[in-house]
Amino acid sequence: MIKPIFPGATLGVLGSGQLGRMFAIAARRMGYRVNVLSPVSDTPTGQVADVEIRAAYEDLDAIAHFARGVDVVTFEFENVPSATAETAARHAPVRPAGQVLHTTQNRRREKTWLRDHGIPMTPFEPARSAEELSIAVKRLGTPAVLKTAAFGYDGKGQVVIRKLTEANAAWQALKGQECILEAWVDFEHECSVIAARGLDRRMVFYGPMINTHSNHILDTSVTPGNLSPGIVREAYDIARAVMEGLDVIGVLCVEFFLTHAGELMVNELAPRPHNSGHLTINGHLTCQFEQQVRSVCGLPLGSPALLKPAAAMANLLGDLWKKGEPRWDRLCAIPEAKLHLYGKAEARPGRKMGHINAVANSPEEALRIVTAARAALLA
C-alpha cells in the first residue's frame, strides 16, 4: 500500500496559469505547501504559491532540482515535454504519469488511442503532408476540420475545410505542421464530464456540463444539463473507460459532442481540471481542484454532490477591459454571483481573465445569474 501524502507536505506544479492557481488555493486551504515551476514569473499560480521557480521545461537540471524539493509533482496543463515528466519522476511521484501526458498532448496519438480502445469519437484521419491531407479530405468528405496535432486550444491551430480545393490553403495556413483532419459533426450539444481517480482506483464524476462557446472559446457551462439518465450513464461509462485505460491518477475532463441522434462522441481529453469544471468551486461539496489535491496525494476523494440543484459558470475574457476597468461593484451587487479573477496583469481580447459562478434551483436560473452579472460589468 502506497503511503498517503499528508498536509504539511509540499506539492509541485508544472505550469503556472489559472488552473494551477486554483489548485494551489485548494491545496493551501488543506494545509499543504505549493511550489510551482514555469518559464515566466509573477504568474497566476506563483502569486499564491509558497515558492515560484522560473525555468524552462527543457532545463532538465532545474526540473530535477525542483522535483527533489517536493513530495509529488502534478501538472496544470498537458503540454509539458515527455523528457520533463521523465526527469521529475526520477525524484518524486508524478501524477498523472508522464505517459498520460504523452498520449493526450498530441491529437493523433490521443485519437488513435481512443479508436484502439473502442471509445466512440469523432472520425479522423492523420494529415502529415499536403498529399496525405488531400487523401483524408476525400475519405472524410467536407466540411471537415483540420487541426494541428499539438499545442492547439481555444480554436487555435484549426481551419475549416469546406471543399476539396481549400485543402492546400488550409495546410499552408497551419504552416505544414503535423495535423489531423476531423469529420464535421452536426451536434446538438457540446458537453463535458470531469472525472477524478485516486490511488485506491475509486472514481467520482461531475456533470455532464452543457457548454456553449463564442469564437471557439468556452463562454458558459451549466449543470445538470437536462440530459436523459441513459446519456448521463453512458458519459460516465466512457469517462470511466478512459480513466482506467490510461491509468490516470488525478483529474481528467472528457469533452463530448452529443449528436441530434443522441450519440455521444469524444472530442478531446484534458488530463487536468477543466474550464467547464470551474463551477464546482461554488456548486459542489468538493471542487475539481480539491479532488486533484486529494487524488495526487493518495487521500480518499471527496463527495461531488451539488450544493443546490444547479450551478453555472460564465467566463470573463480580456475583451471586457477594452473600455477600462470593469465595474466590479455592480457585479458584486448581485449577491448570488461569485467572482473569481486570475491575477493576470494584461487583459487581451480572448484571454481568460476570470469567471463568475452561481448556484440556483434550476439550470436556467443559474445561467441567468452569471450572464446578468457579467453584463453588469459593462453597464
Cα separation, 88 vs 91, in Å, equals 6
Among candidate residues 29, 39, 128, the one with its CA nearest the CA of residue 77: 39
Q: What does the pLDDT read at residue 138?
A: 92
CB 183 within 8 A of CB 193: no
Angle at 296 between CA 295 and CA 302, to 5 degrees: 20
Separation between Cα atoms, residue 154 and residue 275, nearest integer Å: 11
Residue 303 reports pLDDT greater than 90: yes
Residue 107 falls inside a structural domain: no
Compute the mean pLDDT over every residue in the chain, rounded to the nearest whole number. 95
| φ, ψ (nearest 5 deg) of residue 365 | -70, -40
Residue 166: which CATH number? 3.30.1490.20
pLDDT at res. 2: 82
The percentage of the chain sitting over the pLDDT mark of 90, rounded to a whole number, equals 88
Same domain for 272 and 200:
yes
Q: 178 with 206, same domain?
A: no
Cβ(251)–Cβ(276) under 8 Å? no
In-domain check, residue 362? yes
Query: Do the bridges between strand 338-341 and strand 352-360 make them parallel or antiparallel, or are there none, so unpaired?
Result: antiparallel
Residues 152, 214 within the same domain = no
Q: Is 217 helix (H, G, I), strand (E, B) or coil?
A: strand
Burial bucket for residue 76 (CB in 10 Å: 0-12, 13-18, 19+): buried
User: Lowest-confidence range among 12-26, 132-146, 343-357?
Assistant: 132-146
User: For position 154, what pLDDT does the model report?
Assistant: 60
Residues 328 and 352 in one domain: yes
pLDDT at 116 over 80: yes
Same domain, 198 and 301: yes
Burial classification of residue 365, based on how many CB atoms lie within 10 Å of its CB (0-12 exposed, 13-18 middle, 19 or more buried): middle
Show which of 75, 94, 113 is a domain's final residue. Answer: 94
The DSSP code sequence of 146-214 is EEESBS--TTTTEEEE-SGGGHHHHHHHTTT--EEEEE---EEEEEEEEEEE-TT--EEEEEEEEEEEE
Provide the angle, in degrees to the nearest 10, between the axes of the packed helices 107-116 and 229-246.
110
Whether a cis peptide bond, with omega within 30° of 0, leads into 4 is: no
The answer to whether residue 151 scores a pLDDT higher than 80 is no
Whether 118 has a pLDDT exceeding 80, the answer reads yes
Cα(286)–Cα(272) distance, integer angstroms: 16
Q: Are residues 317 and 254 in the same domain?
A: yes
In this predicted structure, what is the pLDDT of residue 152? Answer: 62
Are residues 195 and 73 part of one domain?
Answer: no
What is the total count of domains within the chain? 3
**Would 234 be classed as within a structural domain?**
yes
Last residue of a domain, one of 183, 201, 229: 183
The burial of 303, by beta-carbon neighbours within 10 Å (0-12 exposed, 13-18 middle, 19 or more buried), is given as exposed
- Mean pLDDT score, 338-345: 97
Quick one: 301 and 253 in the same domain? yes
Mean pLDDT value across residues 270-281? 97
Q: Is residue 26 part of a domain?
A: yes
pLDDT at 234: 98
Same domain, 279 and 191: yes
Range of the domain at 149: 123-183
Asked if the structure places residue 248 within a domain, the reply is: yes
Q: Are 64 and 88 in contact (CB under 8 A)?
A: yes
Q: Is residue 112 part of a domain?
A: no
Same domain for 71 and 208, yes or no, is no
Beta strands in the chain (DSSP E): 10-14, 33-38, 51-54, 72-75, 124-127, 144-148, 158-161, 179-183, 187-197, 203-214, 217-223, 250-259, 264-270, 310-317, 338-341, 352-360
CA distance 376 to 337: 11
Residue 72 gets the label, from left (phi > 0), alpha (psi -120 to 50) or beta, of beta
Q: What is the mean pLDDT of residues 278-307?
A: 98
pLDDT bucket at 294, cuts 50 / 70 / 90: very high
Same domain, 286 and 368: yes
Q: Are residues 275 and 353 in the same domain?
A: yes
pTM above 0.85, yes or no: yes
CATH number at residue 49: 3.40.50.20
Residue 338: give its domain's CATH number.
3.30.470.20
Q: What is the mean pLDDT of residues 39-59?
A: 97
Per the domain annotation, does 101 fall within a domain?
Answer: no
> What is residue 141's predicted lDDT score, i.e. its pLDDT?
92
Chain centroid to CA 214:
17
